[in-house]
C-alpha cells in the first residue's frame, strides 16, 4: 500500500516538474516532504536498565518512621 502511494506521489512530482510554474514548485516541495516522511526509518534500540535495591524488611521500615509532633495553631491578636 505504501509502495503504491510512493509511486503515485513520484509520478505526480514528475508530472508537475514538466509544468513550470510557481504553484507546481510549491506542490513539488510538499510532495518531496511527504516522501521523506514515508521512508522507512530504523526503529530505536530499546535498552533495559536493571537496578538492584537492597532488601529491607517491612518491620525495619516501620520502626524507622517516627510520628511528627503536632503543633497548635496560634493567631496573633492585634
Tell me what pLDDT residue 24 has: 81
| Residue-wise pLDDT tens digits, 15-49 | 888 877 777 888 888 888 888 888 877 778 888 88
- Scan for cell 510538499, then name that residue: 30
- Scan for cell 508537475, then name that residue: 16
- Residues 6 and 37: their CA atoms lie apart, in Å, by 11
Average pLDDT, the chain: 79
* Cβ proximity of 60 and 27 under 8 Å: no
Tell me what pLDDT residue 39 has: 80
Query: In 10 A of CB 13, how many CB atoms?
Result: 18
Amino acid at each position: 500500500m505504501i509502495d503504491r502511494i510512493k509511486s503515485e506521489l513520484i509520478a505526480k512530482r514528475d508530472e508537475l516538474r514538466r509544468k513550470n510554474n510557481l504553484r507546481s514548485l510549491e506542490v513539488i516541495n510538499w510532495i518531496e516532504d511527504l516522501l521523506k516522511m514515508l521512508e522507512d526509518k530504523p526503529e530505536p534500540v530499546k535498552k533495559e536498565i536493571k537496578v538492584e535495591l537492597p532488601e529491607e524488611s517491612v518491620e525495619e521500615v516501620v520502626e524507622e518512621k517516627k510520628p511528627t509532633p503536632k503543633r497548635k495553631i496560634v493567631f496573633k491578636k492585634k
